[in-house]
Amino acid sequence: MGFDAIWISPIPKNYPNDYYGYGAMNIYELNDHFGTEQEFADLLKAMRDRDMWLMLDVVANHMGNTNTDFS
């Protein structure tokens, strides 16, 4: 189709039923709706092999309910 980049939804692990990326519960784990870490690495390699870019949507000001007491 001629494009050289794709932009995917936020990928951090989300709370249950929070599939859109705005309810992150762990920014160090992938949302399993996007597959495994190995599948993500395979996607990155395939895109590099095609000289394509992958853009990650980052939602820096949204986290799910962490039940953390900040007092």
* Band of residue 66 on the pLDDT scale cut at 50, 70, 90: low
Report d(CA 61, CA 71) in Å as an integer: 20
Q: What would the pLDDT profile of 36-65 be if each residue is shown by its tens digit?
A: 999 999 999 999 999 999 999 888 777 766
End-to-end CA distance of the chain: 53
Instruction: For the chain, give every domain's residue range.
Output: 5-56
| Verdict on whether the full-model pTM lies above 0.85 | no
Q: Going by C-beta distance under 8 Å and a sequence separation of 6 or more, which residues neighbour residue 16?
A: none
